[in-house]
Structure 1
Amino acid sequence: MPPALSALLGRTRAVVLCVIADHPACTTTQLAQRAGISPASASEHATTLRSAGLTTLTRERKAALHTLTHLGLTLLNTNGPAPAGT
C-alpha cells in the first residue's frame, strides 16, 4: 500500500480501499475478513469511502457488494508527487 494513501485515508481505511480494489463485489463480511477487522468496522469504513465517492455499493438479495468507482481507481493508480529535485 502506498504510504501517501495511508497518510491520506488512515491505515485501516486505505487497507479497506485496497481490499475492495483487489476483490471487486466483495461482501461486507468478506471485506472484514480480508482486511482483518470486524464486520462493523468494515461497514463503517466502506460507508465513509462510499460517501467520498471512492466506492459504490450494490445489493444482491441481503448482501452488500462493494466495488471501486472510477475515482477510487484513479486514486489508487496515482503515483503521488515527484521526488524533490526532478
Structure 2
Amino acid sequence: MLILGLILFGMLIGAGAQLILGRDGGGIDWTMAIVAGLVGSFVGGLLISLLAGDGIELRASGIIGSLAGALIVTALWRWLAGRSKAA
C-alpha cells in the first residue's frame, strides 16, 4: 500500500511541476509526471528534509523539496527532448 501511495504522490507532484512549467500539447504527460515526481521527490524531498533537520517524516520542507526536484527533472527532460528533436 505504501508503494501505491508513493506512486500517487509522485504523480501529483510531477503533474504540478508540468502545470507550473506549462504543458506541451495541452495535456499532462503522465509518464513524465510519474518519473519526474518519483525522482524529484526522492532526491529533492529527501535532501531538503535532511538538510532542514526534519528527518524522513512528511513535512512542508519535504513537499517543497519534492516539487523543486520534480521541476528540475521536468525541465531537464524537456530540454533533452528538444535537443534530440533538433538534431
Tell me whether the two structures share a fold, i.e. TM-score over 0.5.
no
Higher strand share: 1
Higher helix share: 2
Bucket of the pairwise TM-score, normalised by the shorter protein: under 0.3
Which one scores higher on RCO, CA 8 angstroms, separation ≥ 6?
2
Q: How does the TM-score come out when normalised to structure 1?
A: 0.27
Q: How does the TM-score come out when normalised to structure 2?
A: 0.27
